[in-house]
C-alpha cells in the first residue's frame, strides 16, 4: 500500500474567507481601497503601532522602509546571511551595500557581537531577521543602534504575532515589514504590511508605494474623490489591492486560532522528537513569544553516516515534503561574486545550513500526520546511524 504523501504546506482557506474575497469581487472595487485600509487599521491596533501601511510584499515593504529611513548610496546596512535573498536585495536596490554578520547558532538569528564587529563609519542601519518567528536579541541590537546612531529596519516576514519581552514585533519606534505570502501565518496570496510609530516615515511610504502620488489618490474614482492628483516623489507600484486585503482581513479574524494550532503542532513535534539523539528541536527564548512560522530541526551529523541532503532525499522518497531555510546568501553566486563573500567568514551560518531541515508545518496539520512524519524520519535516521 502506497504511503500517504504529507505536503510541506497546505494553505488554510475557509469558506468564510472565500466568501470575503467573493464579496470584494462583487463590490466592483478590487484595487487598493477601503478593505486595505481596514486591514491596516486592525493590524496597527493588534500590533500596537501608530501606523500600518499595506504593500504588495514584505520585500516591497523592506525597500520602502530603507528609503523612508534615509538609507541610500554610500551607506552600509548590516544584516544576516542566514535568510532569504530578499533581505539583502532590498539593501542593494536602495543603493546601499549589504554587510553580513554571522549568526548565533543557538537561535539562528543575528549575533549582536558579530554585528558590532561589522560596524564602520558607513554603517547606517541594522536589518535583523526574526527567523522562523523567534525574535532576535532586540535588547542588544537596540543598544548597538543607540550607541552608533543607527536605524533598525526589521524583517519580520516570519514574525507576525511574535513578542520580545512583552512587546509585539512591529510595535517599536523603528520600522518593520511583515509578509502575507501564501505560506505565512496570515496570507493575502501575495502582500505585506509595514508598521512604524514615525509619522513622517509612514507618510513617505504611503506616497512612495503608489507611484509617488499624494496619499488620498486612491479615492479619485469614488464619489468622495477628485480626479486631480499630484506626484510628489519618484515612487513605485507597491500597493496592496483590496482583493488581496480581503483574504488577509478574513484570515486575521482566525489568526489567534491559527496561532494556537501552530503552537500545538510545534509541541507535538517537540514531544515526539525529544528522544531522537540525531535531532535537535528548534530554539526558543524564555523572553519571547514564538510566532511559529516554520519548524526547523538540526541534524546531529556526527551521529549519522549520511548528510543533510541525503536525509531530505530519503524523506522525499518516503512521502514527506520538506525544505531548507535557508541557503545562506554568501553561497548565492550573485552576492558571492559582487561582494567577494567567503564561506569561511560566516562559520556559524554555514555550519547550521548544512544541518537544517524544515519539516511540514501548518495549522491544519493533524497529529496523526505529525506522528507519521516523525516515524518516517526516525526510520531513516535509525537506518543510517554512524557505527
Whose cell is 479619485? That residue is: 220
Catalytic residue among 26, 184, 232, 342: 184
Q: Strand ranges (DSSP E) for 222-281? A: 279-280
β-strand pairing of 356-359 with 295-299 = antiparallel
**CA distance linking residue 298 with residue 280, whole number of Å:** 5
- The Cβ of residue 226 has, within 10 Å, a number of other Cβ atoms equal to 10
184 catalytically annotated: yes
245 burial (CB, 10 Å; 0-12 / 13-18 / 19+) is: buried
My answer on whether omega of the bond before 326 falls inside 30° of 0, hence cis, is yes
277 burial (CB, 10 Å; 0-12 / 13-18 / 19+) is: exposed
Q: Please enumerate in sequence order all residues whose Cβ is within 8 A of that of 131, keeping only pairs 6 or more positions apart, or say none.
A: 80, 82, 83, 107, 108, 109, 158, 296, 325
Q: Please enumerate in sequence order all residues whose Cβ is within 8 A of that of 351, keeping only pairs 6 or more positions apart, or say none.
A: 105
Residues classed as catalytic: 184
Amino acid at each position: 500500500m502506497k504511503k500517504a504523501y504529507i505536503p510541506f504546506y497546505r494553505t488554510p482557506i475557509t469558506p468564510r474567507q472565500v466568501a470575503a474575497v467573493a464579496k470584494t469581487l462583487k463590490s466592483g472595487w478590487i484595487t487598493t481601497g477601503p478593505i486595505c485600509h481596514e486591514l491596516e487599521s486592525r493590524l496597527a491596533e493588534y500590533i500596537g503601532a501608530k501606523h500600518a501601511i499595506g504593500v504588495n510584499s514584505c520585500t516591497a515593504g523592506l525597500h520602502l522602509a530603507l528609503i523612508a529611513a534615509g538609507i541610500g548610496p554610500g551607506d552600509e546596512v548590516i544584516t544576516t546571511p542566514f535568510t532569504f535573498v530578499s533581505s539583502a536585495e532590498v539593501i542593494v536596490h536602495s543603493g546601499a551595500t549589504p554587510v553580513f554578520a554571522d549568526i548565533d547558532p543557538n537561535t539562528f538569528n543575528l549575533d549582536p557581537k558579530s554585528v558590532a564587529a561589522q560596524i564602520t563609519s558607513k554603517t547606517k542601519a541594522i536589518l535583523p531577521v526574526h527567523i522562523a518567528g523567534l525574535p532576535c536579541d532586540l535588547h542588544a541590537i537596540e543598544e548597538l543602534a543607540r550607541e552608533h546612531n543607527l536605524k533598525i529596519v526589521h524583517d519580520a516576514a516570519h514574525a507576525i504575532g511574535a513578542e520580545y519581552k512583552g512587546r509585539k514585533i512591529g510595535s517599536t519606534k523603528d520600522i518593520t515589514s511583515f509578509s502575507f505570502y501564501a505560506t505565512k501565518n496570515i496570507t493575502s496570496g501575495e502582500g505585506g504590511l509595514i508598521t512604524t510609530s514615525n509619522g513622517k516615515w509612514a507618510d513617505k511610504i504611503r506616497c512612495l508605494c503608489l507611484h509617488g502620488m499624494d496619499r488620498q489618490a486612491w479615492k479619485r474614482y469614488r464619489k468622495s474623490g477628485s480626479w486631480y492628483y499630484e506626484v510628489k516623489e519618484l515612487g513605485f507600484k507597491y500597493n496592496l489591492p483590496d482583493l488581496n486585503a480581503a483574504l488577509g482581513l478574513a484570515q486575521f479574524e482566525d489568526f489567534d486560532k491559527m496561532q494556537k494550532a501552530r503552537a500545538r503542532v510545534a509541541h507535538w513535534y517537540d514531544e515526539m522528537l525529544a528522544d531522537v539523539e540525531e535531532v535537535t528541536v528548534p530554539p526558543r527564548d524564555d523572553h519571547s513569544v514564538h510566532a511559529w512560522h516554520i519548524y526547523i530541526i538540526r541534524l546531529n551529523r556526527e551521529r549519522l553516516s549520511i548528510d543533510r541532503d541525503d536525509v531530505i532525499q530519503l524523506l522525499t522518497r518516503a512521502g514527506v515534503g520538506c525544505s531548507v531555510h535557508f541557503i545562506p546568501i554568501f553561497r548565492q553566486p550573485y552576492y558571492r561574486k559582487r561582494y567577494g563573500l567567503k564561506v569561511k567568514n560566516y562559520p556559524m551560518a554555514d555550519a547550521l545550513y548544512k544541518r537544517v531541515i524544515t519539516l511540514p508545518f501548518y495549522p491544519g496539520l493533524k497529529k496523526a500526520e505529525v506522528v507519521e512524519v516523525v516515524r518516517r524520519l526516525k526510520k531513516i535516521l535509525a537506518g543510517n546511524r554512524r557505527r
